[in-house]
Structure formats: C-alpha cells, structure tokens
C-alpha cells in the first residue's frame, strides 16, 4: 500500500488543473476515464499519462459491474484510492455515482441534482431564501411563449444540464421563438432574463466551511460571448468588486446544500442593489478562471484546490493583489489555419503575462457555439478591471487569425 494519499481523479477535461495534478509527485493517482468521453483525449495526452494507472468505465456495462472491475484493478496495483476528485461538469452524475458505489467521498444524488440540474438548483435557492430568476421546465415552444407572456421578453431557454452556454439561447421575441428547436431527447427550461451586472465568484470549501471567495468581473455576459462579444473573466484581487458579502452568500449555499469540500463556482447578478443567484457548480470553473485567481493573489491556486480534495487545509497566504483576467482568443470559424498571431507576439503586448496558442499554420480547426470556444488564451494583468479590459481590447485589436475552408477531396480520374 502507498504511504502517500491515493486519489481517484476524473480525467479527460482539458483543464490546467488536470495538468497540475498529473505532475504532482506527492500523491498517487488513479485516473478515472469514461469511454463516452474518449474524444477528449489526444494521443499526446494519453502518451504523457501512460505511466499512471487508468480505469476506463465502459458505456455498455452496468455500473456495479464496472466498480467490481475497478476494485480488482486496485487490488492488482496496490493503489486503493481513499480520496476522490471530479473537476468536470458534464461528468458529475456518472462520476459521483461511481464514487458512491466505490466507497469514496461523493455527492449524494440529491446534491448532484442541486449542482447540475439548473431547474432543481434554482428551486433549492428559493428554499434557502435566495432570490433567483423566475423559471419553469418546458418541453414545447408554446410553454416558452406562455412563460414569456407572464414574465416578459426576452427569456433564456436552455437544457437543464447545459454548461458553457451550449444550446442556451436568448429568445427576444416571437420571431426568435419560431427558430427554437426543443429536442425531445433533452430536458429544457425557460427563465426570465435578469438585468443588472453579472458577476462570478469562486471559493474553496473544506469541512463545510468557505475558506475564501474570489470574485470575477465579466466584460460581456456569456450569452453575448457566444454571439461574438469579448470572451474574458477578470479576477478582482484589487480595485472595486461587487457590493455583496460574498463569503456569507456562498456559505448560505454551501450550508443549504450540505456541501462538504471542493472548488465552488457561482454566477450571480446585482440589479439596483438586489442580488439574484444565477447558477452554482461544485467543480473547477471553466476557461482559465482558477489560474486568474492564482495570478491575481499570488498563490498556488491549483495546489490549494488539490489540498481540499485531499482533506488538507490549504495555504491561502497571498503574496500580492492585482487584477488578472483570461482573454480567450477568437476562433471565428472552421477550416485550415492560414495565419495566427504567435505567442511571442502576444507576450510583447502591454499587461500580457502568459499566452497559450493552441493552433498553428496548417492545423484544421473546428469552431463551436460555446463559451470556451477559442484558439488559445492570454492572461492580462493590471491594477483595476478597467485597465485589464483596456489591455485585453488592445490584444484583440492586434490579434490575427485567418482560416480558409477545407474543401472536399479532389476526385480521382478513372
């Protein structure tokens, strides 16, 4: 048996946190992977993690049978995890169901529903005395129309298990409604469109206690982002933030949902002094939001996050405070990259402290309607959110990407 903590880690989502965890040498890992998410794994990544034991959950087998296979594997390897971490939003249900059956720390079915099903989530907010948008589950456009007539246009329509704005739409009027396609294969909801300023908050939780909260500003709302607005989040280590007691707000959610530990990400609105809670997830925030907090406060955010999943109180000693944001570089279409701004060019721009460009000349890329659609990202620093946003827009003005269509293969002469 290992003398180090052994962690069952849900693998596959391309987060910086995942890369941090697999490089740690003070914890033994067993990777949990799901066959249904095979497309998330590049061959390079599989090669880089080939030295780590990995258990693949088969899609076509009963979960109880897969847990028995998992236990047989841990007996063979001598690595028997006692800790569990799932950083992925779409894997919440299956990952925690697996952990429950494997005897590992987990969310209950009801807790998974609260942090995953957005209709049940908002119902729970109301039970806790928190304001949130009016909403209802729907299955037809007629039900959406009925809701809009009661609550006013525009409305927001989304799957109850959506994330990253995938299949989420702002429906402005009857004309937009006519273009809406509610697939019966999914469960849908409609909610009122909330005005005011939208904010984000991330927190670390241990033993049911909120250890600290880090607010973020968004230059544009997620639903505007998928329609082409600036795609960025700015961690507010300095400067003005929302006029809200964030620790108290997040603690009310944590206590009310009985959440014991983990990384919590929440979105909320402040409209004329009124706070409305939007959504909450007990998993890593998307894009590079966690890294923003590390850069903004001067601490190892990924090490601190791993600590709470290992039952340790993290070191939250901050070395500085500033504003740092992640700006996602636009990927405006699908095809072959003919030209893209290089990382060294981005790093030479004012305020840019880190840059990652995922594609190069000749790569074939696919653009999707989702909030993390991008060709890469930069981290931009400044003393205020306004300064960071100005520098981000300077980057966007100078960033260039050219994509040419990829045509069908040429016909071969007989």
Collapsing DSSP states into helix, strand and coil, what is residue 154? coil
Residue 42: its pLDDT value, please? 84
Enter the tokens of residue 303: 């090490």
**Does 58 share its domain with 175?**
no
Cα separation, 6 vs 82, whole angstroms: 6
**Does 75 share its domain with 178?**
no
183 Cβ partners below 8 Å, 6+ apart? none
Q: Domain containing 98 — which CATH number?
A: 3.40.50
User: 111 in a domain, yes or no?
Assistant: no
In the block, which residue shows the tokens 């989702």? 370
Residue 233: its pLDDT value, please? 97
- Dihedral angle, C-alpha 107, 222, 199, 324, nearest 10 °: 100
Cα separation, 148 vs 137, whole angstroms: 13
Q: Domain containing 219 — which CATH number?
A: 3.30.470.20
Question: How many structural domains compose the chain?
Answer: 3
Its domain, for residue 64, covers 6-106
User: 74 in a domain, yes or no?
Assistant: yes
Enter the tokens of residue 63: 């979960």
Residue 269, strand partner residues: 198, 276
User: 258 in a domain, yes or no?
Assistant: yes
**Does 221 share its domain with 295?**
yes
Cα separation, 401 vs 314, whole angstroms: 41
Run means of pLDDT, 10 residues per run, the chain, 414 residues: 88 84 95 90 88 95 97 96 95 96 98 97 98 96 96 95 86 92 93 94 98 97 87 94 96 98 97 94 93 98 98 97 97 95 98 96 91 92 97 98 79 44
**Does 41 share its domain with 63?**
yes
Residue 116: its pLDDT value, please? 96
User: 289 in a domain, yes or no?
Assistant: yes
User: 372 in a domain, yes or no?
Assistant: yes
User: 409 in a domain, yes or no?
Assistant: no
Cis peptide before 154 (omega within 30 of 0): yes
Residue 203 host element (H or E): strand 197-206
- Phi, psi dihedrals of residue 349, rounded to the nearest 5°: -85, 150
Domain boundary, last residue among 67, 90, 106: 106
Residue 14: its pLDDT value, please? 67
**Does 289 share its domain with 315?**
yes
**Does 293 share its domain with 316?**
yes
Contact indicator for 159, 89 with CB cutoff of 8 Å? no
What separation in angstroms does the CA of 91 have from each of 86, 98, 242, 356, 367? 8, 10, 31, 26, 22
**Does 175 share its domain with 211?**
no
**Does 204 share its domain with 154?**
no
Q: HEC states along 254-299?
A: HHHHCCCCEEEEEEEEEECCEEEEEEEECCCCCCCHHHHHHHHHCC
**Does 339 share its domain with 215?**
yes
**Does 276 share its domain with 361?**
yes
User: 376 in a domain, yes or no?
Assistant: yes
User: 324 in a domain, yes or no?
Assistant: yes
**Does 172 share its domain with 225?**
no
* CA max distance for the chain: 74
**Does 99 share its domain with 21?**
yes
Closest CA to 151 of 198, 107, 192, 179: 192
Cα separation, 387 vs 329, whole angstroms: 18
Residue 166: its pLDDT value, please? 83
Q: Which residues of 251-279 are buried (b: 16+ CB within 10 A; e: fewer)?
A: bbbbeebebbbbbbbbbbbbeeeebbbbb
Domain boundary, last residue among 160, 192, 224: 192
Residue 162: its pLDDT value, please? 86
Contact indicator for 230, 388 with CB cutoff of 8 Å? no
């Amino acid at each position: 048996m290992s003398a180090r903590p052994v962690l069952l880690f849900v693998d596959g989502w391309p987060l910086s946190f995942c890369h941090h965890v697999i490089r740690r040498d003070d914890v033994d890992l067993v990777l949990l992977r799901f066959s249904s998410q095979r497309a998330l794994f590049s061959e390079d990544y599989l090669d880089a993690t080939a030295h780590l034991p990995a258990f693949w959950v088969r899609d076509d087998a009963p979960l109880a049978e897969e847990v028995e296979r998992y236990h047989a594997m841990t007996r063979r390897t001598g690595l028997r995890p006692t800790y569990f971490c799932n950083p992925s939003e779409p894997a919440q249900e299956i990952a925690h169901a697996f952990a429950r059956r494997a005897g590992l720390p987990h969310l209950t079915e009801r807790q998974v529903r609260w942090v995953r099903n957005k209709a049940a989530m908002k119902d729970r907010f109301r039970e806790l005395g928190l304001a949130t948008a009016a909403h209802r589950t729907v299955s037809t456009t007629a039900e959406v129309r009925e809701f809009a007539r009661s609550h006013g246009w525009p409305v927001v329509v989304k799957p109850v298990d959506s994330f990253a704005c995938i299949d989420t739409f702002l429906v402005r009027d009857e004309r937009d409604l006519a273009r809406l396609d509610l697939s019966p294969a999914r469960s849908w909801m409609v909610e009122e469109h909330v005005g005011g300023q939208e904010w984000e908050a991330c927190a670390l939780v241990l033993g049911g206690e909120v250890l600290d909260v880090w607010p973020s500003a968004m230059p544009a709302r997620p639903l505007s982002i998928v329609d082409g607005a600036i795609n960025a989040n700015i961690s507010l280590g300095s400067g003005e933030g929302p006029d809200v007691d964030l620790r108290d707000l997040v603690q009310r959610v944590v206590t009310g949902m009985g959440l014991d530990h983990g990384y919590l990400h929440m979105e909320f609105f402040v409209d004329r002094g009124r706070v409305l809670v939007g959504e909450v997830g007990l998993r890593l925030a998307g894009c590079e939001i966690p890294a923003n907090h590390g850069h903004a406060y001067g601490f190892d955010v990924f090490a601190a996050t791993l600590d709470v999943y290992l039952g340790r109180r993290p070191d939250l000693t901050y070395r500085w405070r500033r504003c740092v944001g992640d700006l996602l570089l636009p990927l405006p279409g699908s095809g072959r990259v003919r030209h893209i701004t290089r990382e060294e060019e981005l790093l030479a721009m004012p305020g840019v402290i880190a840059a990652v460009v995922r594609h190069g000349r000749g790569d074939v890329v696919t653009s999707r309607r989702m909030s993390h659609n991008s060709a890469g990202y930069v981290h931009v620093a400044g003393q205020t959110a306004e300064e960071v946003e100005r520098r981000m827009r300077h980057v966007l003005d100078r960033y260039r990407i050219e994509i040419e269509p990829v045509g069908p293969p040429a016909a071969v002469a007989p």
